[in-house]
Amino acid sequence: MITTQTFLSVFFLSLLFSSSFAAPPSSDSVHESFVQCFSDKTKSPQTQITQNVFSQTNPSFSSVLRAYIRNARFNTSSTLKPTIIITPRSESHVSAAVICAKPLNFVFKIRSGGHDYDGLSYISDKPFFILDMSNLRDVNINIADQSAWISAGATLGEVYYNIWEKSKVHGFPAGVCPTVGVGGHLSGGGYGNMVRKYGLSVDYVEDAKIVDVNGRILDRKAMGEDLFWAICGGGGASFGVVLGYKVKLVPVPETVTVFRVEQYMDSGAVDMVYKWQSVGPKTDPNLFMRMLIQPVTRKKVKTVRASVVAQFLGRANDVVSLLAKEFPELGLKKGDCTEMTWLQSALWWDNHVNATMTDPKVFLDRELDTASFGKRKSDYVASEIPRDGIESLFKKMIELGKIGLVFNPYGGKMAEVAEDATPFPHRKKLFKIQYSVNWKESSAEIEKGFLNQAKVLYSFMTGFVSKNPRNAYLNYRDVDIGVNDHGAKSYEEGEEYGRKYFGDNFDRLVKIKTAVDPDNFFRNEQSIPTLPSKA
Protein backbone atom coordinates (compact mmCIF):
# COMPACT_ATOMS: atom_id res chain seq x y z
CA MET A 1 0.00 0.00 0.00
CA ILE A 2 1.37 3.43 -0.93
CA THR A 3 1.20 5.61 2.18
CA THR A 4 0.56 9.33 2.12
CA GLN A 5 4.20 9.84 3.09
CA THR A 6 5.44 7.78 0.13
CA PHE A 7 3.07 9.62 -2.18
CA LEU A 8 4.41 12.98 -0.98
CA SER A 9 8.04 11.78 -1.31
CA VAL A 10 7.43 10.78 -4.95
CA PHE A 11 5.64 14.08 -5.46
CA PHE A 12 8.60 16.09 -4.16
CA LEU A 13 11.09 14.05 -6.25
CA SER A 14 9.14 14.83 -9.39
CA LEU A 15 9.24 18.51 -8.44
CA LEU A 16 13.02 18.35 -8.03
CA PHE A 17 13.47 16.76 -11.44
CA SER A 18 11.28 19.44 -13.02
CA SER A 19 13.41 22.03 -11.13
CA SER A 20 10.38 24.09 -10.16
CA PHE A 21 9.32 24.27 -6.52
CA ALA A 22 5.65 24.33 -5.54
CA ALA A 23 3.69 23.52 -2.39
CA PRO A 24 2.40 19.96 -1.86
CA PRO A 25 -1.32 19.37 -2.47
CA SER A 26 -3.27 21.53 -0.03
CA SER A 27 -6.27 20.27 1.89
CA ASP A 28 -8.34 22.57 -0.36
CA SER A 29 -7.18 20.82 -3.52
CA VAL A 30 -7.70 17.39 -1.92
CA HIS A 31 -11.22 18.45 -0.96
CA GLU A 32 -11.81 19.79 -4.47
CA SER A 33 -10.75 16.58 -6.22
CA PHE A 34 -12.76 14.45 -3.78
CA VAL A 35 -15.90 16.57 -4.25
CA GLN A 36 -15.52 16.48 -8.05
CA CYS A 37 -15.23 12.67 -8.00
CA PHE A 38 -18.07 12.30 -5.44
CA SER A 39 -20.31 14.52 -7.58
CA ASP A 40 -19.56 12.45 -10.70
CA LYS A 41 -20.12 9.10 -9.00
CA THR A 42 -23.34 10.08 -7.19
CA LYS A 43 -24.60 12.24 -10.08
CA SER A 44 -25.31 15.02 -7.57
CA PRO A 45 -24.59 18.71 -8.11
CA GLN A 46 -21.61 19.96 -6.09
CA THR A 47 -23.86 22.45 -4.27
CA GLN A 48 -25.73 19.51 -2.69
CA ILE A 49 -22.55 17.74 -1.64
CA THR A 50 -21.73 20.34 1.03
CA GLN A 51 -24.36 18.56 3.17
CA ASN A 52 -22.37 15.33 2.97
CA VAL A 53 -18.71 16.31 2.60
CA PHE A 54 -17.12 18.62 5.17
CA SER A 55 -13.70 20.22 4.80
CA GLN A 56 -11.97 21.80 7.78
CA THR A 57 -13.13 25.24 6.61
CA ASN A 58 -16.81 24.23 6.64
CA PRO A 59 -18.61 25.99 9.54
CA SER A 60 -20.23 22.65 10.54
CA PHE A 61 -16.96 20.68 10.50
CA SER A 62 -16.31 20.90 14.24
CA SER A 63 -19.85 19.96 15.33
CA VAL A 64 -19.93 16.99 12.92
CA LEU A 65 -16.57 15.76 14.19
CA ARG A 66 -17.44 16.22 17.88
CA ALA A 67 -20.96 14.73 17.69
CA TYR A 68 -19.77 11.12 18.06
CA ILE A 69 -16.54 11.60 20.01
CA ARG A 70 -17.35 9.85 23.30
CA ASN A 71 -13.86 9.98 24.81
CA ALA A 72 -12.78 13.56 25.57
CA ARG A 73 -9.13 12.46 25.52
CA PHE A 74 -9.39 12.65 21.72
CA ASN A 75 -11.18 15.98 21.55
CA THR A 76 -8.34 18.39 22.23
CA SER A 77 -7.00 21.27 20.14
CA SER A 78 -3.77 19.32 19.54
CA THR A 79 -5.54 16.16 18.26
CA LEU A 80 -4.93 15.84 14.49
CA LYS A 81 -8.21 16.53 12.68
CA PRO A 82 -9.42 14.72 9.55
CA THR A 83 -8.91 16.50 6.23
CA ILE A 84 -12.47 15.60 5.19
CA ILE A 85 -15.52 14.13 6.96
CA ILE A 86 -18.03 12.35 4.74
CA THR A 87 -21.56 11.76 6.12
CA PRO A 88 -23.27 9.53 3.54
CA ARG A 89 -27.07 9.48 3.26
CA SER A 90 -27.35 6.48 0.93
CA GLU A 91 -25.55 3.27 0.00
CA SER A 92 -24.39 4.88 -3.25
CA HIS A 93 -22.78 7.69 -1.22
CA VAL A 94 -20.73 5.10 0.69
CA SER A 95 -19.68 3.41 -2.53
CA ALA A 96 -18.64 6.77 -4.03
CA ALA A 97 -16.73 7.71 -0.87
CA VAL A 98 -14.61 4.55 -1.10
CA ILE A 99 -13.97 4.91 -4.83
CA CYS A 100 -13.05 8.59 -4.53
CA ALA A 101 -10.91 8.29 -1.42
CA LYS A 102 -8.78 5.40 -2.68
CA PRO A 103 -6.56 7.27 -5.19
CA LEU A 104 -5.90 10.09 -2.69
CA ASN A 105 -3.94 7.77 -0.36
CA PHE A 106 -5.38 9.07 2.89
CA VAL A 107 -6.10 6.81 5.85
CA PHE A 108 -9.86 6.11 5.69
CA LYS A 109 -11.53 5.85 9.10
CA ILE A 110 -15.08 4.43 9.46
CA ARG A 111 -17.20 5.58 12.39
CA SER A 112 -20.64 4.20 13.24
CA GLY A 113 -21.41 4.97 16.86
CA GLY A 114 -18.37 6.63 18.35
CA HIS A 115 -18.20 4.45 21.47
CA ASP A 116 -14.72 3.65 20.35
CA TYR A 117 -12.85 3.65 23.66
CA ASP A 118 -9.45 4.43 22.15
CA GLY A 119 -10.80 6.54 19.30
CA LEU A 120 -9.48 4.45 16.41
CA SER A 121 -12.48 5.30 14.22
CA TYR A 122 -11.88 9.04 14.39
CA ILE A 123 -8.22 9.80 15.18
CA SER A 124 -4.97 9.15 13.33
CA ASP A 125 -1.37 10.32 13.40
CA LYS A 126 -1.37 10.40 9.58
CA PRO A 127 -3.56 12.52 7.26
CA PHE A 128 -7.01 10.91 7.18
CA PHE A 129 -10.68 11.05 6.19
CA ILE A 130 -13.63 10.03 8.37
CA LEU A 131 -16.63 8.23 6.91
CA ASP A 132 -19.32 8.93 9.51
CA MET A 133 -22.24 6.50 9.15
CA SER A 134 -24.62 8.22 11.59
CA ASN A 135 -27.15 9.29 8.91
CA LEU A 136 -27.67 5.68 7.82
CA ARG A 137 -29.93 4.71 10.71
CA ASP A 138 -32.89 2.77 9.32
CA VAL A 139 -34.37 0.05 11.55
CA ASN A 140 -36.94 -2.05 9.68
CA ILE A 141 -38.71 -4.58 11.93
CA ASN A 142 -40.56 -7.52 10.39
CA ILE A 143 -42.50 -9.25 13.17
CA ALA A 144 -44.03 -11.74 10.72
CA ASP A 145 -40.64 -13.41 10.20
CA GLN A 146 -39.16 -12.11 13.50
CA SER A 147 -36.31 -10.25 11.83
CA ALA A 148 -34.95 -6.74 11.42
CA TRP A 149 -32.71 -4.97 8.91
CA ILE A 150 -30.61 -2.46 10.83
CA SER A 151 -28.35 0.14 9.21
CA ALA A 152 -24.83 0.49 10.61
CA GLY A 153 -25.39 4.03 11.90
CA ALA A 154 -28.45 3.16 13.99
CA THR A 155 -28.01 3.06 17.77
CA LEU A 156 -28.97 0.18 20.06
CA GLY A 157 -31.54 2.48 21.69
CA GLU A 158 -33.19 3.03 18.31
CA VAL A 159 -33.22 -0.74 17.70
CA TYR A 160 -34.86 -1.47 21.08
CA TYR A 161 -37.42 1.31 20.63
CA ASN A 162 -38.40 0.11 17.15
CA ILE A 163 -38.79 -3.49 18.33
CA TRP A 164 -40.96 -2.32 21.26
CA GLU A 165 -43.22 -0.33 18.91
CA LYS A 166 -44.01 -3.54 17.01
CA SER A 167 -43.96 -6.20 19.75
CA LYS A 168 -43.86 -6.48 23.53
CA VAL A 169 -42.57 -10.07 23.46
CA HIS A 170 -39.54 -9.69 21.19
CA GLY A 171 -36.07 -8.35 21.91
CA PHE A 172 -32.52 -8.50 20.64
CA PRO A 173 -29.44 -9.67 22.58
CA ALA A 174 -27.13 -6.65 22.47
CA GLY A 175 -25.51 -4.05 24.71
CA VAL A 176 -26.92 -2.12 27.65
CA CYS A 177 -25.76 1.31 26.45
CA PRO A 178 -28.37 2.79 24.05
CA THR A 179 -26.03 5.23 22.30
CA VAL A 180 -23.70 2.51 20.95
CA GLY A 181 -23.70 2.28 17.13
CA VAL A 182 -24.87 -0.97 15.58
CA GLY A 183 -22.10 -1.11 12.96
CA GLY A 184 -19.24 -1.34 15.46
CA HIS A 185 -21.17 -3.32 18.07
CA LEU A 186 -22.21 -6.16 15.76
CA SER A 187 -19.05 -6.28 13.66
CA GLY A 188 -17.03 -6.78 16.86
CA GLY A 189 -19.29 -9.49 18.33
CA GLY A 190 -21.78 -7.61 20.52
CA TYR A 191 -23.07 -8.82 23.87
CA GLY A 192 -25.45 -7.70 26.59
CA ASN A 193 -27.52 -8.94 29.50
CA MET A 194 -29.05 -11.82 27.51
CA VAL A 195 -25.63 -13.27 26.61
CA ARG A 196 -26.13 -16.36 28.80
CA LYS A 197 -29.59 -17.08 27.36
CA TYR A 198 -28.92 -16.25 23.71
CA GLY A 199 -25.17 -15.76 23.17
CA LEU A 200 -23.69 -12.90 21.15
CA SER A 201 -25.47 -10.40 18.90
CA VAL A 202 -23.64 -11.86 15.88
CA ASP A 203 -25.10 -15.30 16.55
CA TYR A 204 -28.37 -13.83 15.20
CA VAL A 205 -27.06 -12.17 12.03
CA GLU A 206 -28.69 -13.72 8.93
CA ASP A 207 -27.49 -11.35 6.22
CA ALA A 208 -25.40 -8.23 5.82
CA LYS A 209 -24.47 -5.59 3.27
CA ILE A 210 -20.96 -4.26 2.78
CA VAL A 211 -19.18 -1.89 0.40
CA ASP A 212 -15.92 -3.55 -0.65
CA VAL A 213 -12.63 -1.96 -1.64
CA ASN A 214 -13.84 -1.62 -5.25
CA GLY A 215 -16.99 0.22 -4.20
CA ARG A 216 -19.29 -2.73 -4.88
CA ILE A 217 -22.35 -3.20 -2.66
CA LEU A 218 -22.47 -6.87 -1.64
CA ASP A 219 -24.97 -8.90 0.37
CA ARG A 220 -24.19 -12.23 2.04
CA LYS A 221 -24.60 -14.23 -1.15
CA ALA A 222 -22.45 -11.86 -3.21
CA MET A 223 -19.69 -11.43 -0.60
CA GLY A 224 -19.45 -15.17 0.15
CA GLU A 225 -19.40 -17.01 3.46
CA ASP A 226 -15.77 -16.18 4.34
CA LEU A 227 -16.25 -12.41 4.29
CA PHE A 228 -19.66 -12.75 5.96
CA TRP A 229 -18.02 -14.77 8.75
CA ALA A 230 -15.26 -12.15 9.14
CA ILE A 231 -17.62 -9.16 9.60
CA CYS A 232 -19.66 -11.03 12.24
CA GLY A 233 -17.15 -10.55 15.06
CA GLY A 234 -13.83 -9.87 13.30
CA GLY A 235 -14.37 -6.10 13.04
CA GLY A 236 -16.00 -4.73 9.90
CA ALA A 237 -13.58 -1.85 9.32
CA SER A 238 -10.71 -4.18 8.30
CA PHE A 239 -12.66 -5.54 5.34
CA GLY A 240 -14.93 -2.82 3.97
CA VAL A 241 -17.75 -0.54 5.04
CA VAL A 242 -20.60 -2.48 6.65
CA LEU A 243 -23.88 -0.88 5.57
CA GLY A 244 -26.13 -2.94 7.82
CA TYR A 245 -27.17 -6.30 9.20
CA LYS A 246 -30.29 -8.44 9.01
CA VAL A 247 -30.82 -10.01 12.42
CA LYS A 248 -33.19 -12.56 13.95
CA LEU A 249 -35.19 -11.24 16.90
CA VAL A 250 -35.50 -13.37 20.04
CA PRO A 251 -38.51 -14.01 22.30
CA VAL A 252 -38.61 -12.25 25.67
CA PRO A 253 -41.15 -12.86 28.46
CA GLU A 254 -43.82 -10.26 29.21
CA THR A 255 -42.28 -9.83 32.67
CA VAL A 256 -38.59 -9.71 33.56
CA THR A 257 -37.00 -9.03 36.94
CA VAL A 258 -34.08 -6.73 37.75
CA PHE A 259 -32.19 -6.19 41.00
CA ARG A 260 -29.07 -4.60 42.45
CA VAL A 261 -27.43 -5.83 45.68
CA GLU A 262 -24.36 -4.14 47.21
CA GLN A 263 -21.89 -5.34 49.83
CA TYR A 264 -18.74 -3.78 51.25
CA MET A 265 -15.36 -5.24 52.08
CA ASP A 266 -16.10 -5.39 55.82
CA SER A 267 -19.54 -6.96 55.37
CA GLY A 268 -19.26 -9.95 53.06
CA ALA A 269 -18.05 -8.52 49.73
CA VAL A 270 -15.03 -10.86 49.48
CA ASP A 271 -17.18 -13.96 50.03
CA MET A 272 -19.83 -12.66 47.64
CA VAL A 273 -17.35 -12.05 44.80
CA TYR A 274 -15.58 -15.36 45.41
CA LYS A 275 -18.84 -17.34 45.36
CA TRP A 276 -20.18 -15.37 42.36
CA GLN A 277 -17.48 -16.99 40.19
CA SER A 278 -19.01 -20.44 40.65
CA VAL A 279 -22.63 -19.26 40.33
CA GLY A 280 -22.70 -16.41 37.79
CA PRO A 281 -21.42 -18.46 34.84
CA LYS A 282 -23.23 -21.70 35.83
CA THR A 283 -26.71 -20.73 37.04
CA ASP A 284 -29.98 -20.70 35.05
CA PRO A 285 -29.22 -19.13 31.61
CA ASN A 286 -32.22 -16.81 32.12
CA LEU A 287 -30.18 -15.08 34.85
CA PHE A 288 -27.41 -12.58 34.08
CA MET A 289 -25.57 -11.22 37.14
CA ARG A 290 -22.99 -8.56 36.35
CA MET A 291 -20.50 -7.85 39.15
CA LEU A 292 -19.18 -4.30 39.67
CA ILE A 293 -16.16 -3.84 41.96
CA GLN A 294 -15.31 -0.26 42.86
CA PRO A 295 -13.02 1.47 45.36
CA VAL A 296 -15.11 3.91 47.45
CA THR A 297 -14.90 5.97 50.63
CA ARG A 298 -17.49 5.02 53.25
CA LYS A 299 -17.74 6.65 56.67
CA LYS A 300 -14.39 8.35 55.87
CA VAL A 301 -12.70 4.96 55.34
CA LYS A 302 -11.40 3.70 51.98
CA THR A 303 -13.01 0.37 51.10
CA VAL A 304 -14.34 -1.65 48.17
CA ARG A 305 -17.99 -1.96 47.16
CA ALA A 306 -19.11 -5.05 45.22
CA SER A 307 -22.48 -4.77 43.45
CA VAL A 308 -24.43 -7.49 41.67
CA VAL A 309 -26.54 -5.87 38.93
CA ALA A 310 -28.83 -8.50 37.45
CA GLN A 311 -31.63 -9.38 35.08
CA PHE A 312 -33.78 -12.52 35.17
CA LEU A 313 -35.99 -13.42 32.23
CA GLY A 314 -38.86 -14.35 34.51
CA ARG A 315 -40.62 -13.55 37.78
CA ALA A 316 -39.13 -12.24 41.03
CA ASN A 317 -40.32 -15.17 43.19
CA ASP A 318 -38.48 -17.62 40.93
CA VAL A 319 -35.13 -15.82 41.01
CA VAL A 320 -35.33 -15.23 44.79
CA SER A 321 -35.88 -18.94 45.49
CA LEU A 322 -33.20 -19.93 42.94
CA LEU A 323 -30.55 -17.71 44.56
CA ALA A 324 -31.55 -18.64 48.12
CA LYS A 325 -30.27 -22.12 47.18
CA GLU A 326 -27.37 -21.28 44.85
CA PHE A 327 -26.05 -18.00 46.22
CA PRO A 328 -27.04 -17.38 49.86
CA GLU A 329 -24.00 -15.06 50.21
CA LEU A 330 -25.90 -12.56 48.05
CA GLY A 331 -28.76 -12.31 50.54
CA LEU A 332 -31.32 -11.48 47.80
CA LYS A 333 -34.79 -10.58 49.09
CA LYS A 334 -38.05 -10.07 47.21
CA GLY A 335 -37.89 -6.39 48.18
CA ASP A 336 -34.63 -6.00 46.20
CA CYS A 337 -36.40 -7.05 42.99
CA THR A 338 -38.49 -5.07 40.50
CA GLU A 339 -40.65 -6.70 37.84
CA MET A 340 -41.05 -4.84 34.54
CA THR A 341 -41.20 -5.31 30.77
CA TRP A 342 -38.09 -6.14 28.74
CA LEU A 343 -37.92 -2.61 27.29
CA GLN A 344 -38.26 -1.08 30.75
CA SER A 345 -35.38 -3.28 31.89
CA ALA A 346 -33.27 -1.80 29.08
CA LEU A 347 -34.11 1.66 30.47
CA TRP A 348 -33.21 0.46 33.98
CA TRP A 349 -29.81 -0.78 32.81
CA ASP A 350 -29.26 2.67 31.33
CA ASN A 351 -29.59 4.08 34.86
CA HIS A 352 -33.19 5.28 34.58
CA VAL A 353 -34.10 4.62 38.21
CA ASN A 354 -37.84 4.98 37.58
CA ALA A 355 -37.68 2.81 34.47
CA THR A 356 -41.37 1.84 34.64
CA MET A 357 -42.30 5.56 34.50
CA THR A 358 -39.77 6.60 31.82
CA ASP A 359 -40.91 7.40 28.27
CA PRO A 360 -39.15 4.90 25.95
CA LYS A 361 -38.60 7.78 23.51
CA VAL A 362 -35.48 8.68 25.53
CA PHE A 363 -33.86 5.83 23.57
CA LEU A 364 -34.03 8.03 20.46
CA ASP A 365 -31.77 10.67 22.08
CA ARG A 366 -28.26 10.27 20.72
CA GLU A 367 -26.69 12.49 23.40
CA LEU A 368 -24.41 14.17 20.87
CA ASP A 369 -21.12 15.76 21.88
CA THR A 370 -21.18 14.39 25.44
CA ALA A 371 -17.65 13.16 25.96
CA SER A 372 -15.98 12.38 29.28
CA PHE A 373 -12.37 11.28 29.79
CA GLY A 374 -11.83 7.55 30.17
CA LYS A 375 -9.87 4.36 29.59
CA ARG A 376 -11.00 0.74 29.21
CA LYS A 377 -9.08 -2.54 29.13
CA SER A 378 -10.25 -6.16 29.11
CA ASP A 379 -9.36 -9.68 30.24
CA TYR A 380 -10.90 -13.14 30.34
CA VAL A 381 -10.90 -15.53 33.29
CA ALA A 382 -10.70 -19.25 32.57
CA SER A 383 -10.56 -20.61 36.14
CA GLU A 384 -11.81 -19.15 39.40
CA ILE A 385 -9.69 -16.61 41.24
CA PRO A 386 -8.87 -17.98 44.75
CA ARG A 387 -10.36 -16.24 47.79
CA ASP A 388 -7.01 -14.79 48.86
CA GLY A 389 -6.62 -13.49 45.29
CA ILE A 390 -9.92 -11.59 45.66
CA GLU A 391 -8.70 -10.15 48.98
CA SER A 392 -5.41 -9.01 47.47
CA LEU A 393 -7.29 -7.52 44.49
CA PHE A 394 -9.49 -5.45 46.84
CA LYS A 395 -6.41 -4.15 48.67
CA LYS A 396 -4.74 -3.23 45.37
CA MET A 397 -7.85 -1.34 44.22
CA ILE A 398 -7.96 0.65 47.48
CA GLU A 399 -4.28 1.49 47.02
CA LEU A 400 -4.87 2.71 43.43
CA GLY A 401 -8.00 4.58 44.42
CA LYS A 402 -10.13 5.10 41.29
CA ILE A 403 -10.15 2.28 38.75
CA GLY A 404 -13.08 -0.15 38.87
CA LEU A 405 -13.79 -3.61 37.44
CA VAL A 406 -16.83 -5.12 35.74
CA PHE A 407 -17.17 -8.92 35.67
CA ASN A 408 -19.53 -10.22 32.95
CA PRO A 409 -20.48 -13.91 33.35
CA TYR A 410 -20.55 -16.31 30.42
CA GLY A 411 -21.71 -19.93 30.47
CA GLY A 412 -25.19 -20.91 29.31
CA LYS A 413 -25.63 -20.48 25.56
CA MET A 414 -22.17 -18.92 25.19
CA ALA A 415 -20.42 -22.16 26.17
CA GLU A 416 -22.51 -24.16 23.66
CA VAL A 417 -21.30 -22.35 20.53
CA ALA A 418 -18.07 -23.45 18.83
CA GLU A 419 -15.09 -21.11 19.25
CA ASP A 420 -14.66 -20.83 15.48
CA ALA A 421 -18.37 -20.37 14.67
CA THR A 422 -17.60 -16.64 14.55
CA PRO A 423 -14.28 -14.78 14.89
CA PHE A 424 -15.04 -14.24 18.61
CA PRO A 425 -13.07 -17.06 20.34
CA HIS A 426 -13.71 -16.52 24.07
CA ARG A 427 -16.91 -18.60 24.39
CA LYS A 428 -15.65 -21.10 26.95
CA LYS A 429 -14.31 -18.58 29.47
CA LEU A 430 -16.01 -18.16 32.87
CA PHE A 431 -16.25 -14.40 32.64
CA LYS A 432 -14.89 -11.26 31.05
CA ILE A 433 -13.32 -8.39 32.97
CA GLN A 434 -13.62 -4.77 31.93
CA TYR A 435 -11.21 -2.32 33.57
CA SER A 436 -12.92 1.05 33.76
CA VAL A 437 -11.80 4.50 34.83
CA ASN A 438 -13.42 7.87 34.06
CA TRP A 439 -12.48 11.41 35.01
CA LYS A 440 -13.69 14.94 34.27
CA GLU A 441 -10.59 17.13 34.52
CA SER A 442 -8.68 18.07 31.35
CA SER A 443 -5.07 17.73 32.47
CA ALA A 444 -2.15 15.77 31.03
CA GLU A 445 -0.90 15.01 34.54
CA ILE A 446 -4.26 13.72 35.76
CA GLU A 447 -4.70 11.65 32.59
CA LYS A 448 -1.26 10.09 33.02
CA GLY A 449 -2.14 9.10 36.60
CA PHE A 450 -5.41 7.42 35.66
CA LEU A 451 -3.92 5.62 32.64
CA ASN A 452 -1.17 4.38 34.94
CA GLN A 453 -3.77 3.03 37.41
CA ALA A 454 -5.29 1.00 34.56
CA LYS A 455 -1.88 -0.40 33.56
CA VAL A 456 -0.90 -1.23 37.16
CA LEU A 457 -4.14 -3.10 37.89
CA TYR A 458 -3.94 -4.91 34.54
CA SER A 459 -0.40 -6.01 35.39
CA PHE A 460 -1.50 -7.07 38.89
CA MET A 461 -4.18 -9.37 37.37
CA THR A 462 -1.72 -11.28 35.15
CA GLY A 463 -1.69 -14.43 37.30
CA PHE A 464 -5.50 -14.67 37.47
CA VAL A 465 -6.47 -14.32 33.81
CA SER A 466 -6.11 -16.16 30.48
CA LYS A 467 -2.60 -16.85 29.16
CA ASN A 468 -0.87 -17.62 25.85
CA PRO A 469 -2.33 -15.42 24.57
CA ARG A 470 -3.77 -13.17 27.24
CA ASN A 471 -7.18 -12.54 25.67
CA ALA A 472 -8.96 -9.24 25.06
CA TYR A 473 -12.32 -8.14 23.61
CA LEU A 474 -12.21 -6.27 20.29
CA ASN A 475 -15.04 -3.89 21.22
CA TYR A 476 -13.11 -2.73 24.29
CA ARG A 477 -10.41 -1.22 22.09
CA ASP A 478 -7.10 -0.99 23.91
CA VAL A 479 -3.99 0.31 22.14
CA ASP A 480 -1.80 -0.80 25.07
CA ILE A 481 -1.88 -4.38 23.74
CA GLY A 482 -0.32 -3.45 20.40
CA VAL A 483 -0.65 -1.12 17.42
CA ASN A 484 0.10 -1.45 13.73
CA ASP A 485 2.04 1.11 11.72
CA HIS A 486 1.32 -0.87 8.51
CA GLY A 487 4.95 -0.78 7.43
CA ALA A 488 7.31 -3.67 6.73
CA LYS A 489 6.39 -5.42 9.99
CA SER A 490 2.63 -5.05 9.59
CA TYR A 491 1.88 -8.77 9.95
CA GLU A 492 4.01 -9.19 13.11
CA GLU A 493 2.50 -6.06 14.66
CA GLY A 494 -1.00 -7.22 13.73
CA GLU A 495 -0.41 -10.65 15.22
CA GLU A 496 0.53 -9.05 18.56
CA TYR A 497 -2.99 -7.71 19.24
CA GLY A 498 -4.77 -9.98 16.75
CA ARG A 499 -4.08 -13.19 18.71
CA LYS A 500 -5.33 -11.53 21.91
CA TYR A 501 -8.59 -10.48 20.28
CA PHE A 502 -9.18 -13.51 18.05
CA GLY A 503 -7.02 -16.45 19.20
CA ASP A 504 -6.66 -19.09 16.48
CA ASN A 505 -9.36 -17.35 14.40
CA PHE A 506 -6.77 -14.68 13.61
CA ASP A 507 -5.25 -16.88 10.86
CA ARG A 508 -8.54 -17.19 8.97
CA LEU A 509 -9.20 -13.45 9.33
CA VAL A 510 -5.77 -12.66 7.81
CA LYS A 511 -6.43 -14.94 4.83
CA ILE A 512 -9.82 -13.30 4.22
CA LYS A 513 -8.34 -9.81 4.57
CA THR A 514 -5.58 -10.67 2.08
CA ALA A 515 -8.16 -11.96 -0.41
CA VAL A 516 -10.64 -9.07 -0.21
CA ASP A 517 -8.33 -6.07 0.44
CA PRO A 518 -4.82 -7.08 -0.69
CA ASP A 519 -3.53 -3.49 -0.75
CA ASN A 520 -4.74 -2.86 2.83
CA PHE A 521 -6.88 0.19 2.03
CA PHE A 522 -9.17 -0.48 5.01
CA ARG A 523 -6.81 -0.12 7.93
CA ASN A 524 -6.51 1.36 11.37
CA GLU A 525 -4.11 1.01 14.30
CA GLN A 526 -5.59 -2.40 15.20
CA SER A 527 -6.97 -3.71 11.93
CA ILE A 528 -6.38 -7.20 10.52
CA PRO A 529 -3.12 -7.19 8.52
CA THR A 530 -2.58 -8.86 5.16
CA LEU A 531 -0.28 -11.84 4.78
CA PRO A 532 3.36 -10.82 4.26
CA SER A 533 4.32 -10.92 0.57
CA LYS A 534 6.66 -13.71 -0.49
CA ALA A 535 8.87 -11.40 -2.53
Measured between alpha carbons, how far is 278 from 85 in angstroms, rounded to an integer?
Answer: 48
Residue 476 annotated as catalytic: yes
Among residues 204, 476, 497, 501, the one annotated as catalytic is: 476
Could you give the CA distance from residue 107 to residue 4 in angstroms, rounded to a whole number?
Answer: 8
- Angle between helices 490-502 and 505-516 in degrees, nearest 10: 130
Round to whole Å and give the CA distance between 249 and 170: 6
Among the listed residues 129, 121, 126, 111, the one whose alpha carbon sits nearest the alpha carbon of residue 38 = 129
**HSE (side-chain half, CA atoms, 13 Å) at 284:** 16
Question: 457: which residues sit within 8 A by CB, 6+ positions away?
Answer: 396, 397, 400, 403, 405, 435
Q: How far apart are CA 99 and CA 88, in angstroms?
A: 13
As a whole number of angstroms, the distance between CA 184 and CA 150 comes to 12
- What is the secondary structure of 204-257 as a DSSP string? GEEEEEEE-TTS-EEEHHHHHHHHHHHTTTS-GGGTSEEEEEEEE-EE--S-EE
CB neighbours of residue 442 within 10 Å: 12
* Amino acid making up residue 395: K
> What secondary structure letter does DSSP report for 84?
E
Residue type, 412: G
Q: At what angle do helices 505-516 and 220-230 cross, to 10 degrees?
A: 140
Contact 370, 284 (CB under 8 A): no
493, 484 Cβ separation under 8 angstroms? yes
Residues recognised as catalytic:
476
